[in-house]
Amino acid sequence: MKMEKIRLIIFDLDGTLVDSSRDITNALNYALKPYGFKTMTVEETVKLVGEGIARLIEKVIGTEKIGIKDEVLKRFLEYYSDHLTEYTRPYPGVTETLDRLSAYRKAVISNKREELSRRLLEELGMASCFNHILGSDSTPEKKPSPLPVLTVLKREGLTPAQALMVGDSNLDIEAGRKAGVTTVGAGYGYRPLEALKAADFLIRERLTELLDILKKIQT
C-alpha cells in the first residue's frame, strides 16, 4: 500500500542536527564546581541528556542534594547562554541534507528551552531552514509526549501520515509514534542503536541517508 506523501519533516536538535555535547558538558561542570562534584566527561554527559536541562541536573546531583538544584540550574543557564555555540556544530551532512529538503516543510522540536534552541540555530546560520522551532517550554508537555508533534501538525494543517520525525533518542521515537507519524532513528547521535529499535527506519552514519529513506517511503 502506497503511503501518503510526506510534506513535513520534524527534527530533534541536540544529537540529531548538532553535536552540542561539549558546550553542555562545560556548562554543567561550571554549574557544579562550587558544590564538590567530580568533573563530568562529555561521554558521561551525553548518556544523561535528552529530557531537558532541569532533568539533567537532577540526574547528576541526585535526590540527596536536590535542594541545590535551582542554584545549579541558574549557574548552568548563565554559562550556557554565553557559550551556546562555542564548540557546537552541525553533524556532517546536516546542512547539505537540509538544503536538499527545501521542498518540505521543516520543524525542530527540542527538549532544550525554545529561546536557547532558536538562538543556537540562529548562531549557526540554520534557523531559516525551519518553519517552526519548539522547545521544552513551547507546549505544556515535552517529548516523549506527542503534544509538541501534534502542535506542529495542527499549525501546518497536516495529518500524522504526512509527517516524519527524526531523532537520536527513544524520547523522539516515542513522541513520534504516539503522534502517529513515521519515525526515523539517528544512529550517529548520543544514543546507542538499540535505543532506537522502535523506529520505523534507521540512519546509521549521516543524515544524508534520510534522502534515500524518503525515496523509499514515497515510491
Alpha helices (H) in the chain, listed in sequence order = 21-32, 42-46, 53-61, 69-82, 94-100, 114-123, 147-156, 170-179, 209-217
Looking up cell 546536516 gives 94
Active-site hit among 12, 23, 168, 172: 12
- Chain length of the chain: 219
Strands 182-186 and 163-167: parallel
What type of residue sits at position 32?
L
CB atoms under 10 Å from CB of 138, counted, come to 20
The rounded distance, in Å, linking the Cα atoms of 166 and 217 is 14
Catalytic residue check, 12: yes
Active site residues: 12
